[in-house]
Amino acid sequence: MTGIEARDAELKKELDATLQARRELGEEYESALVDSFLEKVEQRIDGVVERRVRRQLAEQQLQVARGSREPKNSDSWGERFGFGIVSLVLAIPLSAIGGGIAHLPGLLTAWAGIVGVNAVQAVRANPGLFAHRRRASSQDSDWEE
């Protein structure tokens, strides 16, 4: 079992334990249980992001030290694919929690957040993603005058 699979299995065990505790303790502890689980997910994400930032900073410093004028953009296809996979994996417990607590509004809120995070990532990876639309709409408005 790889490190990622082990962390995913650990997170699944945490979610199962949280759901079991909710069944045993009742709804009055639901908010505290969800907060606790989300804190663990947040810590996991923070750790992954911190390691990734350190690695990218080290790569950039190494390139600069070797005489490269401009560090290359290390946002590869693999990293984007990995971000999408992590997003979908985290969508499962977030959907379960949001749908279990607040039903359809909770589920929609969870997915709005997931879509929002992925949209920000897409724009960050492709800064000119919506530039064509802005230019086209400004040209259209010139014709209307």
**Identity of the residue numbered 92:** I
Average pLDDT over the chain, rounded to an integer: 80
Q: What's the pTM value of the predicted model, to 2 decimals?
A: 0.43
pLDDT in tens, 24-50: 888 888 888 888 888 888 888 888 889
Say if residue 144's pLDDT is above 50.
Answer: no
Q: At what angle do helices 77-125 and 30-65 cross, to 10 degrees?
A: 100
Q: Band of the pLDDT at 74, cuts 50, 70, 90?
A: low
Q: Band of the pLDDT at 126, cuts 50, 70, 90?
A: confident
Segment 51-76 mean pLDDT = 76
Segment 90-116 mean pLDDT = 90
Question: Residue by residue, what is the 3-state secondary structure of 66-94?
Answer: CCCCCCCCCCCHHHHHHHHHHHHHHHHHH
Structure tokens at 93: 């417990």
Closest CA to 29 of 19, 16, 39: 19
Q: At what angle do helices 3-25 and 77-125 cross, to 10 degrees?
A: 60
Instruction: Annotate 9-44 with b (16+ C-beta within 10 A) or e (fewer).
Output: eebeebbeebbebbeeeeeeebeebbeebeeebeeb
The 3-state DSSP class for residue 129 equals: coil
